[in-house]
Amino acid sequence: MNKEEFKNIIIKANYFTKYEAIVDIKTKEIYAYEALSKFDFDNNIISTEDIFRYLHHNNNLFFQLEKRNKELQIKNFTKNKKLFLNFDADICVSDEQQNYWENFLLSQKENIVVEITENGSDDETSAKIMRNFSSWLSNKSIETALDDFGQDGSMFSFFMMNGSKYIKIDKSFIRQIDLNKNYLHYLKGVLKTIKLNGQKSIIEGVETKKDLQLAEELDCDYVQGYYFDQYQIIR
């Protein structure tokens, strides 16, 4: 498949969003939702991961696609809760992109949290783009969440961690604790640090009652995962 065929597939793909609940660990009430991008293709010929991997090499297409996606994510969201929106720093680098997202985000400022996702690269250029994006959001007083803390291949940055209101603990932590109980003490330390910093913690990947019981033992603030109900709107 050549680049033009790939591009046409992405543009024509049926897009939909899954809104996944973020739940208060103590009250078990829904605090917020995260909008998760999904694409529906004939015969499942390409994955969502493949799409975003390709888009990192086509900034303009990435920007245009995410403009559409984010507009639909907000338009179709009907709950009176905060909405976490995934943003890759690579779509906010040019003046045109920054101007667009500034108008878009400031108009939704009270209702959203920008979830900063990594692009899978740990080189210095990518790290600088992420730091600049984090600073830009902070200057606009837009709430942020640092995604995938502890995920394999993710970049650890005190700058990124300190600048975020929410720290999302990757589901790999829970899976590792299943294999090695010693990681429980490490995660307890991370969660205590988050709390002492006045930030909020969200443990991802809660899929079973056992996972939920572990999160309760760890005394995090919020949990997220397939253990809780979710809804989706297809477009």
Place of tokens 């010929």: 45
pLDDT tens digits for range 175-198: 899 899 999 999 999 999 999 999
Q: Which two tokens stand for residue 195?
A: 């709390």
pLDDT at 233: 47
> Do β-strands 14-24 and 30-40 pair in parallel, antiparallel, or remain unpaired?
antiparallel
Q: How many domains does the chain have?
A: 1
Within-domain flag for 207: no
Query: What's the domain range around 66?
Result: 3-169+222-234
Q: Identify which of 229, 184, 190 has the alpha carbon closest to the alpha carbon of residue 206.
A: 229
User: How high is the pLDDT of residue 139?
Assistant: 93
Indicate whether 96 belongs to any domain.
yes
220, 190 contact by CB (below 8 A): no
Pairing mode, strands 14-24 and 230-234: antiparallel
How much is the pTM?
A: 0.89
User: Where is average pLDDT lowest: 4-8, 65-69, 157-161?
Assistant: 4-8
d(CA 152, CA 157): 14
The CATH number covering residue 145 comes to 3.20.20.450
Report whether pLDDT(235) > 50: no
Nearest to 127 by CA among 173, 167, 158, 162: 158
| Distant-in-sequence, close-in-space partners of 126: CB < 8 Å, separation ≥ 6 | 89, 118, 119, 155
Q: Quick check: is 11 in a domain?
A: yes
pLDDT score of 231 = 52
Residue 210 pLDDT exceeds 60: yes
Q: Do strands 144-149 and 166-169 pair parallel, antiparallel, or not at all (unpaired)? A: parallel
Tell me: the pLDDT tens digits for 72-130? Answer: 999 999 999 999 999 999 899 999 999 999 999 999 999 999 999 865 445 677 788 88
**Angle value at C-alpha 69, between 9 and 45, nearest 5 degrees:** 25
Average pLDDT value for the chain: 86
Quick one: pLDDT at residue 213? 93
The CB density around residue 141, as the number of other CB atoms within 10 Å, is 8
The answer to whether residue 49 scores a pLDDT higher than 80 is no
Q: With bands split at pLDDT 50, 70 and 90, how would you rate the model's confidence at 43?
A: low
Neighbours of 162 (CB within 10 A): 11
Residue 197 within any structural domain of the chain: no
Q: How does residue 21 score in pLDDT terms, banded at 50, 70 and 90?
A: very high
pLDDT of residue 129: 87
pLDDT of residue 44: 60
> CA 13, CA 42: separation in Å to the nearest integer?
9
Region 7-13: mean pLDDT is 72
d(CA 66, CA 84): 15
pLDDT at 229 over 60: yes
Cβ-based burial of 88 (10 A; exposed 0-12, middle 13-18, buried ≥19): buried
Please check whether residue 176 lies inside any domain of the structure.
no
**Burial (0-12, 13-18, 19+ Cβ within 10 Å), 44:** exposed
| Per-residue model confidence (pLDDT) at position 39 | 76
Q: Are 218 and 188 in contact (CB under 8 A)?
A: yes
Percentage with pLDDT > 90 across the chain: 54
pLDDT value of residue 161: 85
